[in-house]
A and B are shown apart, each in its own frame.
Chain A
């Protein structure tokens, strides 16, 4: 029993251990220098990622409250890797910040919440994981303490997350009322599609849609992303969104399979609206963080196509896409957060003629944007390709309409991604960003991301490996 516990919850336990180490460092009598503390944390996070990769087992704990298997372990590893990269990227910003240990404690608490949420086998555990992953994030959004826009972002985030968890809870209570159980494996047998259950299901979907910022629940996204510190924004847009998407897939596929007909149509409407609104609003943004917020909204629309496939391919395509999305979005955010930390410039106009002064950053941002848009040699193309393949798997007329909408949206997205590339390489600027001293750690993070963008696309065994781990439906 104890052995099971140690093996199955290994990733959670390691994260908890790191939180405690940081707590002891913080309350200890010795003052740690920021550089030393940051290096220690980065090493610990690397060890955390390495420990997650070895020796995973299958099984369940605590009356099916906690379920661990190969695919959840892989999903957690992806999140671990993303957190490690973000930690490297925030080096330049945190070096002069007063509260480094607190930042990592809050960050790792949210990561722990996401792990529990991914492994949950019970609605109670799922709810607790979701809250643990969103409440500390609000505190993180406020981490630029003197800045007005930071506290504004934090307030908007906590209000919308509390409101959405209220909707989610109302859905959960109605599900409990109609079925009498909270355990995932019993729920799917007890669902019969009565009107009350459909109502409860729509409330649950609304709660999820808030967290993944799907239209019509996307309004908080741009404001929070713009106001929060750039590192927190990249965490919000990649890690937190990715975790909720993983859970969304497993909840829809496992628990709500009896209602598959309903959620297929629901996803169609939400996904089409999300892609169109995300793309159209991204065109008119000038602030890069806001721009990336809307582009990440549009990307969620594409992920929903993959989810609609409800097959092994669908599940694998979503995990594969999120792995690529981690690399490409973090490369883009890495450049933006580095420039924002060093020069405080965040608009597209500031980036004009960036290539003249900072060729490395320009190339990194360009490759990341190509991958986000889905240009063939980069991994983003393959990610989107598999999502669309999964979406057509059902062979319905509606799914072809859906793919057509997605294809049209892809063309629109090329316009705004390439607009930034044009600004970097072709436009002239009288006051360009000066040549920047890039810290070695940030360079390392950029190279990891770029290697990921190129390699995950070119080596087909990445997708085959994920596919072999995905559960069969």
Chain B
């Protein structure tokens, strides 16, 4: 399958994620949208990794081009999990303090 399809799909996912972060009011849904952005990146990295391998494998079957891309994906998953666990802990604290997870209530810090 040509690489363009993957790029278009992951761009679409990424844009949905950005729009979600910017428009949704629920803190947990905002985190889900950030996950969506990161998953779009993962998809793109894997697709590029396969593309680079396929280009190199024509000459040499045992080529290792593109492995960094797949490796990167694992690290992104781990970091995203850490980010979300800290984020959820903060949301719990926020819920205790203001009894809501709606971000429109977060307007105390203004003059």
Contacts and interface: CB of A to CB of B under 8 A. Distances in A.
Interface of A: 123-124, 127-128, 131, 135-136, 138-139, 142, 145-149, 151-156, 158-159, 162-163, 165-166, 169-170, 172-174, 176-177, 180-182, 222-223, 226-227, 284-287, 290
A152 B27 contact: no
Nearest to B45: A173
B93 A142 contact: yes
Contacts, number: 128
A218 to B, nearest CB: 15
Contact of B65 (A124, A151, A180): A180
Interface of B: 3, 7, 14, 17, 21, 27, 30-31, 34, 37-38, 40-41, 44-45, 47-49, 51-52, 65-66, 68-69, 71-72, 75-76, 79, 82-83, 86-87, 89-91, 93-94, 96-98, 103, 106, 108-111
Chain A residues touching B, majority SS: helix
Chain B CB within 10 Å, residue with most, of A128, A136, A139, A173: A173
Contacts of A142: 90, 93
A131 B82 contact: yes
Contacts of B76: 127, 169
A145 B37 contact: no
A145 B49 CA distance: 44
Contact of A147 (B48, B72, B97): B97
B91 A155 contact: yes
A139 B72 contact: no
A136 B86 CA distance: 8
A158 B41 contact: no
A327 B23 CA distance: 40
Given A138-B87, A162-B87, A169-B38, A177 B48 contact: yes
Given A128-B75, A128-B79, A158-B86, A169 B109 contact: no
Per CB-CB distance, the 10 closest pairs between chain A and chain B, nearest first, are A177-B48, A166-B37, A223-B109, A148-B97, A169-B41, A151-B93, A173-B44, A151-B94, A180-B52, A131-B79
A124 B75 contact: yes
B44 A124 contact: no
Contacts of A139: 86, 89-90
Contacts of A123: 72
A185 to B, nearest CB: 14
Contacts of A154: 90, 93-94
Chain B residues touching A, majority SS: helix
Contacts of A159: 21, 30-31, 34, 87
Contacts of B72: 123-124, 127, 172-173, 176, 182
A136 B38 CA distance: 19
Contact of B48 (A128, A152, A166, A173): A173
A135 B83 contact: yes
B34 A162 contact: yes
25 contacts: A123-B72, A131-B82, A131-B83, A135-B83, A138-B87, A138-B90, A139-B89, A151-B90, A152-B98, A153-B109, A154-B94, A155-B94, A155-B106, A158-B86, A159-B30, A163-B21, A165-B83, A170-B37, A170-B40, A176-B68, A177-B7, A177-B48, A182-B68, A223-B110, A286-B111
B79 A177 contact: no
A287 B110 CA distance: 10
A180 B66 contact: yes
B87 A227 contact: no
B85 to A, nearest CB: 9
B41 to A, nearest CB: 4
Contacts of A284: 111
A166 B38 contact: yes
Nearest to A152: B106
Contacts of B96: 151
Contacts of A136: 86
Given A135-B79, A180-B52, 20 more contacts: A128-B75, A131-B79, A131-B83, A138-B87, A139-B90, A146-B97, A148-B97, A151-B98, A152-B106, A155-B103, A155-B106, A158-B86, A158-B90, A159-B34, A169-B76, A177-B44, A180-B48, A222-B109, A284-B111, A285-B111
